[in-house]
Amino acid sequence: MDILETDAYDRRQRRNSSCVLFLFLLPFFISSGFYFYLWIPQTAPSLLAAMVKCSPVLSLAALVLLYNGAWSFWGVAGGLMLSACGDCCLIWPHLFLHGMTAFGLAHLLYSLSFLSDRYSSLSSSSTSFFVSVSLWLTGAGAYVYLLPYLQKRSDAAILTPAVGVYVLLIIAMATLATRTRRTLTILGSLSFVFSDLALSLQAFAVIDPTEEGRAFVMATYYLAQMLIAVGDIKARSDFGEGVGKRKRM
């Protein structure tokens, strides 16, 4: 095949792969829709509520494992599983710290994944530098703003430093994501930051919790996890294609 035929073949392959990936994402879309349809009140924590809430993220973890193999357990797939554990914990208010710990570990696994060879080499462009600085300023500003509200809580001695560590982990994850040059990964990480910021404002009584606020938190959260998962699958696919092309040269 000449170059034009090869390019056309590659485009067809990518298009077919995208269609298959969309079909595999249907469990995520269905379970997410089921969650919003049931919209179980936060005042009624139960195992059913936990299962409904974490099922979309578990479906994404299964998808990443299917595409990328068992090694992804120590990367994005493992982060998704830890996030599902965090989802379950947050159903019960007294397990808030446990849930935050699970999400913090998830961000750590995401960060390690973004540092792997499958993602583009870290760039030092002016754009990535500006975004990184903006993220760290946002994280620091949010923590300083939340500090008086954290100190009013009965568990302030544990919660205050714990939130600080969590902010470091999620901002570090988002910073590494923005430097991968992968649109899905970048948008996913930023959506996660927005979701957690909105959640913290309600969880720590900065603003009154509302159904609209809860809907925003969950919509941006599910969107973030989906983008990160699909971004990881794409990164693995592109890396494999790149290796194959180098071997054929």
User: What are the sequence ranges of the domains in the chain?
Assistant: 3-248
The tokens for 171 are: 């901002």
- Using pLDDT thresholds of 50, 70 and 90, give the confidence band for residue 118: confident
List the alpha helices (DSSP H) in the chain.
3-24, 26-38, 47-68, 76-91, 96-114, 126-150, 156-178, 183-203, 211-248
The predicted model gives 117-136 an average pLDDT of 80
Lowest mean pLDDT among 70-74, 119-123, 137-141, 207-211: 119-123
For tokens 């900065």, name the residue: 206
Q: Is the pLDDT of residue 13 over 60?
A: no
The predicted model gives 180-188 an average pLDDT of 93
pLDDT at 14: 57
Lowest mean pLDDT among 18-27, 46-55, 113-122, 139-148: 113-122
The predicted model gives 215-221 an average pLDDT of 98
- Using pLDDT thresholds of 50, 70 and 90, give the confidence band for residue 160: very high
Q: Is the pLDDT of residue 122 over 50?
A: yes
How do residues 106-116 score in pLDDT, each as one tens digit? 999 999 999 98
Instruction: Report CA torsion sign: 182, 130, 188, 76.
Output: positive
- Using pLDDT thresholds of 50, 70 and 90, give the confidence band for residue 140: very high
Using an 8 Å Cβ cutoff, are 196 and 30 in contact?
A: no
Instruction: Specify burial of residue 41 (Cβ count, 10 A radius: 0-12, 13-18, 19+).
Output: exposed
DSSP annotation string for 19-59: HHHHHHTHHHHHHHHHHHHH---TTS--HHHHHHHHHHHHH
How far apart CA 210 and CA 125 sit, in angstroms, is 40
The predicted model gives 48-58 an average pLDDT of 97
